[in-house]
Amino acid sequence: MDSVDLEVLRSAVAWRKSGHGVTLATVVETWGSAPRPVGAMLAIRGDGMVSGSVSGGCVEDDMIDKLTGEAAPAHPKLLTYGVTREQAERFGLPCGGRLAIVVEPVVDPAQDPHVLERLEQLLAASDRRELTVRTLDMESGRMSLAPGSRDSILSFDGKTLQTVHGPLWRLLLIGAGQLSRYLAEMARTLDYRVTVCDPRDEYVFGWDLPGVDLVRTMPDDTVVAMELDSRCAVVALTHDPKLDDLALMEALKSPAFYVGALGSRSNNEKRRRRLADFDVSQAEIARLSGPVGLPIGSKTPPEIAVSILAEMTAVRRGVLQPGSGERGLGARPAALTSGAACS
């Protein structure tokens, strides 16, 4: 679940505690060019105020009409949009786009005090960066919570809705320098649980970024201990081959969806040759994104962080393939500025 959708739940809790009626909406299935992904959430207050989005503005007005005032649902139900060409044109959905949305009332605490309690428990667990599975019974409207796992996914079978909340994605940064601070802060807003690894005393002194895990172990040990999966990314940022290469040797063998390294094109070519001297195959080396980041002309640490997260997002969404070279956006320039900014 994206961090923005957690804010939807926070709004729903605050509104309900203030005495407003609230309806939650969750995208459970999409077809074609749907504007928002499965799991996207919207909270609609009784007076029509909204938090979040399930369609980028295409169907929200219709939902407000259908779900406020006397029309507010008393039990969970399923809404579908864009089933016909006429609906798609009426609601402004992209060509062929369709949405299935579960809507559910956040009932008055006097009716069921456990609903608000569980939503607050869910938010508290997410603040602790814990994965939680929320299960909604469509017939009774009852809600339950259980610990989640990295394999947990949203599911809906018509009778039960299961949603996953918390940081589904993990990011390991090698190095606790200035760039890592910007990258860590931005990554948290994109729903990453961020770990920074740096065994050097001079860099970790004064590190105080809240919500980011700092470890002092050697990078290769850290990568192994984290048991990286396909929802993990690793970015090496120290410029010290003794540290960066240790992490990359292990990360490139893992299922991590993205592995990148800061530095110029020439330095990354040297890095590839060094990795080849160890037990890293050419196929594994080809997964390395280096110079790291999209070529957006970045110069400052915040701009470089944006370019790195943009590339990570493109790989995560399937727009780019992991690794360097020509990937649909043209060849990388000889001096990709996010890498060229650092030798």
Domains of the chain plus CATH, in order, are: 3-165 (no CATH), 169-340 (3.40.50.720)
pLDDT category of residue 341 using cuts at 50, 70 and 90: very low
Look at 71 and 8; give whichever has higher pLDDT: 8
Is the pLDDT at 260 greater than 90? The verdict is: yes
pLDDT category of residue 224 using cuts at 50, 70 and 90: very high
What does the H/E/C string look like for 151-207? CCCCEECCCEEEEEECCCEEEEEECCCHHHHHHHHHHHHCCEEEEEECCCHHHHCCC
- The average pLDDT across 202-218 equals 88
Q: What is the pLDDT of residue 95?
A: 54
- The average pLDDT across 291-318 equals 94
- The average pLDDT across 302-311 equals 96
Cα angle 163-62-114, degrees, rounded to a multiple of 5: 35
**Residues 75-106 as b or e (16 or more Cβ within 10 Å = b):** ebeebebbeeeebbeebebeeebbbbbbbbbb
Q: Are 264 and 293 contacting, i.e. CB atoms less than 8 angstroms apart?
A: no
**3-class secondary structure, 77:** strand
pTM above 0.75, yes or no: no
Q: What is the DSSP string of 96-132?
A: T-EEEEEEEEE--TTT-HHHHHHHHHHHHHHHTT--E
- The average pLDDT across 289-300 equals 93
Query: What region does 61 belong to: left with phi over 0, alpha with psi -120 to 50, or beta?
Result: alpha
pLDDT category of residue 63 using cuts at 50, 70 and 90: very high
Task: Name the amino acid, one letter, at 287.
Answer: R
pLDDT category of residue 42 using cuts at 50, 70 and 90: very high
Q: What is the DSSP letter of 54?
A: S
Lowest-confidence pick of 102-106, 136-140, 323-327, 336-340? 336-340
> What's the mean per-residue pLDDT of the chain?
86
Q: Is cis: bond before 291, omega within 30 of 0?
A: yes
